[in-house]
Amino acid sequence: MTSEAGEIVTERLAADGPSRTRVALLGSGDLSRELVRALQRLGAEVIAVDRYADAPLHGVVDRTVVVDLGDNDELAAAIRWLQPKYVVAGSEVVATDALTAAVDTGFTQLVPGIRGARLAADPELMRRLASEELGLPTAPFWFVGSVEELRAVAEQAGYPMSVKPVGGALGEGRSVMVRDSDIEPAWQRAVAACAPDIPPRVLAETVVEVDSEVILLAVLRDGHDGPALDFCAPIGHRSIEEPNGQLTVEFWQPHPMSSVALDAAKSITARVARALGGRGLFGVELLVHGDEVYFGGVTVRPYDAALLTLRTQRLSGFELQARGILGMATDTIMVSPGAARLIYSRRGAGTGAVTTSDSVAVVADALSVTESDVVVFGHHEGHPRRRLGLALATGPDVAVARDRAARVATVLGTLWP
């Protein structure tokens, strides 16, 4: 089937019944699978709009449309033809002028909102919004476009200083400079990890003392008296890079925080969410040192940390996003302490395909750990850091859950030796 704009379209026949609220999801990566299911359970019709015909979600959504998400004309034509009640930006590579045109019709609502959609694709503007407009505490930072600019910043700010690319794959291109001789290697490493289609640009930050890195999930929804914000229990996280280049990110919930720090974290999260506007789930990244809390970044849709909430909360981050989109009641009740380990492919590795012949036996062995669960991800195309597998575990407390998740991950990781 082909639309008036020339897109490739497939659809599943719906059973007789009332018309369903139509939601167009721009970008259909595997991580959005849980969001699609949550929306469908709540009665919505979900249309996946993406740039290729065999995206991971195309087997579970109600309809698929293939367009170039970065082309304003193509995307705008597809949205006009579909006439969705809600458009959900599930990718940073989206033509935002087309989103503005959709919102201007007065019929379609954009999630998270046009400002959130624009800033999600521009980490530099997002950091400046937080620091300069909202006045949130951040580590001193500079965005630079050349090694000479980086050298000038280092001479002004001193050491130690962290350097990372603006954009690029998770965990790639990061360095900590402690002396002048580190400047050139740090610049080259960051530039090598930058997205190939944009000019090289890096973020340099003064290294501040922190005790932990925390993600606070919050859902912004329509309440009886106006916009309402609900907070999840804080999620702690850390990254573990193995000598072979494989990356594992560990998450746990709840992360212990003082009442002062938690209040500060909620205040920062609320100000960011309300400044970006719209509705749905926001994940605000925070650096915590005692009672001090610094803003680090934000995601405007369920991301990796939300996978942990599949087992720790009554409503997962994906279900909270679905309810936020549709304007339904939410709650952020945590039902159990839990932990997760998300395994990514090695840097520059091949397909990330399962290499163990008896993968079922490996998964069965991993699931022998008490209160455990696993996810093995599928993949569509190459990426420097791809999600391979997820180890999940709950327990009577976070320490037990983290130990269990580590044991599950050790077994699961043998699928990708």
196 Cβ contact partners less than 8 Å away, ≥ 6 residues apart:
none
Nearest to 145, CA basis, from 204, 200, 206, 205: 200
Supply angle C-alpha 237, 403, 29, rounded to 5: 45
pLDDT computed for residue 6 by the predictor: 47
Q: Which helix (H) or strand (E) holds 77?
A: helix 72-82
At 1 the pLDDT is: 41
Alpha-carbon distances of 2 from 60, 253, 282, rounded to whole Å: 20, 46, 35
Q: Which pair of structure tokens corresponds to residue 59?
A: 């087997």
User: Which structure tokens are listed for 4?
Assistant: 């008036």
Domains and CATH numbers, the chain: 22-111 (3.40.50.20), 140-206 (3.30.1490.20), 212-414 (3.30.470.20)
231-262 burial code (b ≥16 CB/10 A, e <16): bbbbbbbeeeeeeeebbbbbbbbbbebeeebb
Distance, in Å, from the CA atom of 378 to the CA atom of 195, rounded to the nearest integer, reads 23
Q: What is the pLDDT of residue 157?
A: 93
Tell me which residue of 328, 342, 315 sits closest to 35, measured CA to CA: 315
Q: CB-hemisphere CA count at 13 Å for 375?
A: 22
Pull the structure tokens for residue 51: 């740039």
User: What is the value of pTM for the model shown?
Assistant: 0.89
pLDDT tens, residue by residue, 316-351: 999 999 999 998 989 999 999 999 999 988 765 555
pLDDT for residue 345: 84
pLDDT value at position 14?
A: 45
Question: For each successive 10 residues of the chain (417 residues), what is the average pLDDT?
Answer: 49 55 88 92 94 79 91 92 91 84 87 84 87 94 94 94 79 86 93 77 91 94 75 94 81 98 97 89 95 92 92 97 92 97 76 68 96 85 74 98 97 90
Q: Which residues contact 360 (CB under 8 A, 6 or more apart)?
A: none
pLDDT of res. 194: 75
Contact (Cβ atoms closer than 8 angstroms) between residue 203 and residue 157: no
pLDDT tens for 197-228 read 678 889 999 998 999 999 999 998 876 666 78
Count of alpha carbons within 13 angstroms of residue 159, beta-carbon side? 11
